[in-house]
């Protein structure tokens, strides 16, 4: 099977053609980093307009490069949420128009499901169930992935997401936007033990994450003028990593054993975090898998892949979505998960 994927939920406009043999036949990604950088974060209105300008010609280009005619696709998959609603609507409405014009099924994909299944696009050896650390700009969750469409949330953040913590730290330290890669780069030159920083919720009897207190501590450390910026970056990254490992240990101790630990989402691009997770997996005799960097941050190949997974999964309801389907700014992967205080869900 072959699927056209469209992603527009945040500040990447992306289009990809992927087949069930895990081949990315063609893809394009347009990042809006430069447009948002002056504001230090994503401006929803600017994002939506940029998606509207870029998307149609990108679809045209990717289709031409793939050499596959629209009616020959098995589905058109687009992110339908969660995310910035203006951007999501641009992608979803475009996909509906293409689906209608070519009589190909529409698949409305949850952006988080795209991240959650992305490791399987890169690595055919990952079988269900697996333990997933989903760490991105808007989310920080531990999920037990039982199968396509079956996600059990074991932990989430009660305040900031991990990517958000990296972005805010970068802003405090004057490293610009987007912050994750800049903090990681600078951290390599710093001493991770130089600045005493808290590990919020480490050792807690609840499973969740918290990063707001860490960010405030970073701000105080910076304002004190006592520390080199590289030392703060390195110490922040170490503290964040320690929290992640501690929370994963908690979840691992309380869930049925799984063979594989997987990380996905933009922060999965962080090499220090990948290494820490690899060691954790080794200690637990688990296999560890992380997608290549280009599949960690937002892309359309993971959306097309989530569509392919749905086509291959059991159950008819999975195979197409109605053309009157609404975009969803919020859309939890596990609808049964208990809400927690703060923004996390």
Binding-site residue ranges: 111, 115, 134-138, 167, 180, 184, 270, 298
**Does the protein bind ligand ATP through residue 181 (CB under 6 A)?**
yes
Annotated binding-site positions for Fe cation:
111, 115, 298
The interface partner of residue 81, options being ligand ATP, Fe ion, Mg ion, none and the CB cut-off 5 to 8 Å by kind, is: none
**Least separation in angstroms between CB 140 and ligand ATP:** 9
Quick one: 232 or 264, whose CB is closer to Fe ion?
264
Q: By CB under 6 A, tell whether 178 contacts ligand ATP.
A: yes
- 117, containing H or E segment: helix 111-122
Q: Which stretch binds ligand ATP (CB under 6 A): 72-80, 145-153, 263-271, 312-320?
A: 263-271
The closest of 280, 294, 275, 261 to 187, measured between CA atoms, is 275
- Is the distance from CB of 95 to CB of 76 less than 8 angstroms? yes
2, 267, 304, 340: which one binds ligand ATP (CB under 6 A)? 267
State the chain's maximal CA–CA distance in angstroms: 64
How many helices, marked H, and strands, marked E, lie in the chain? 11, 10
Residue 332 as a binder of ligand ATP (CB under 6 A): the answer is no
Does position 269 interact with ligand ATP (CB under 6 A)? The reply is: yes
Q: Is 10 a binder of ligand ATP (CB under 6 A)?
A: yes
Contact 152, 251 (CB under 8 A): no
* Chain centroid to CA 324: 26
- Cα of first residue to Cα of last residue in the chain, in angstroms, is 33
Alpha-carbon torsion, ordered 152, 157, 162, 168, to 10 deg: 150
Phi, psi (degrees; rounded to nearest 5) at 4: -95, 125
Residue 180 interacting entry, from ligand ATP, Fe ion, Mg ion, none, C-beta within 5 to 8 Å by type: ligand ATP
Decide if residue 163 touches ligand ATP (CB under 6 A).
Answer: yes
Give the shortest CB-95-to-ligand ATP separation in angstroms.
18
- Examine residue 297 and tell whether it contacts ligand ATP (CB under 6 A): yes
If one asks whether residue 83 binds ligand ATP (CB under 6 A), the answer comes out as yes
Q: Using CB under 6 A, which of 210, 260, 270, 289 touches ligand ATP?
A: 270
- Which residue among 8, 32, 136, 289 contacts Fe ion (CB under 5 A)? 136
Shortest gap between Cβ of 64 and ligand ATP (angstroms)?
A: 26
User: What is the contact mask toward Mg ion in residues 5 to 34, using x (rule: CB under 5 A)?
Assistant: ------xx----------------------
Q: How many angstroms separate the CA atoms of 92 and 36, rounded?
A: 22
273 or 281, CB closer to Mg ion? 273
CA count, 13 A, side-chain hemisphere, 216: 9
Where b means 16+ CB within 10 Å and e means fewer, 267-296 reads: bbbbebbbebbeebbeebebbbbbbeeebb
Residue 164 within binding range of Mg ion, rule CB under 5 A = no
The least distance separating ligand ATP from the CB of residue 198, rounded to whole angstroms, comes to: 19
- Write out the E strands in the chain: 2-7, 12-19, 24-31, 75-81, 106-110, 130-135, 140-147, 150-155, 260-264, 287-289
Q: Which residues bind Fe ion (CB under 5 A)?
A: 136, 298
Q: Which residues bind ligand ATP (CB under 6 A)?
A: 9-10, 83, 111, 115, 136-139, 163, 166-167, 178-181, 184, 265-267, 269-270, 297-298
Q: Which residues bind Mg ion (CB under 5 A)?
A: 11-12
């Amino acid at each position: 099977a072959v699927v056209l994927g469209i992603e527009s939920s945040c500040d990447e406009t992306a289009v990809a053609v992927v087949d069930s043999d895990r081949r990315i036949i063609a893809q394009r990604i347009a990042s809006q980093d430069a447009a948002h950088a002056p504001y230090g974060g994503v401006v929803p209105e600017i994002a939506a307009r940029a998606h509207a300008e870029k998307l149609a010609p990108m679809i045209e280009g990717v289709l031409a490069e793939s050499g596959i005619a629209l009616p020959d696709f098995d589905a058109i998959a687009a992110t339908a949420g969660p995310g910035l609603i203006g951007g999501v609507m641009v992608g979803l409405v475009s996909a509906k128009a293409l689906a209608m014009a070519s009589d190909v099924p529409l698949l409305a994909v949850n952006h988080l499901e795209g991240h959650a299944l992305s490791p399987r696009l890169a690595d055919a050896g990952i079988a269900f169930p697996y333990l997933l650390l989903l760490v991105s700009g808007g989310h920080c969750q531990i999920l037990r992935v039982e199968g396509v469409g079956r996600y059990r949330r074991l932990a989430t953040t009660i305040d900031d997401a991990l990517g958000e913590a990296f972005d805010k730290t970068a802003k405090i330290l004057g490293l610009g936007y987007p912050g994750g890669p800049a903090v990681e780069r600078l951290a390599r030159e710093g001493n991770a033990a130089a600045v005493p920083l808290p590990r919020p919720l480490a050792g807690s009897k609840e499973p969740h994450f918290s990063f707001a207190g860490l960010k405030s501590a970073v701000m105080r450390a910076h304002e004190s003028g006592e520390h080199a910026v590289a030392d703060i970056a390195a110490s922040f990254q170490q503290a964040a990593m320690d929290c992640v490992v501690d929370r994963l240990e908690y979840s691992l101790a309380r869930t049925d054993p799984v063979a594989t630990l997987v990380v996905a989402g933009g922060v999965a691009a962080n090499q220090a975090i990948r290494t820490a997770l690899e060691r954790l997996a080794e200690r637990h005799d688990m296999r560890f898998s992380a997608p290549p960097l280009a599949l960690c941050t937002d892309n359309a190949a993971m959306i097309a892949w989530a569509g392919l997974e749905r086509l291959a999964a059991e159950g008819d309801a999975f195979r197409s979505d109605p053309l009157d389907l609404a975009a969803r700014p919020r859309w939890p992967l596990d609808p049964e998960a208990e809400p927690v205080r703060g923004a996390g869900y």
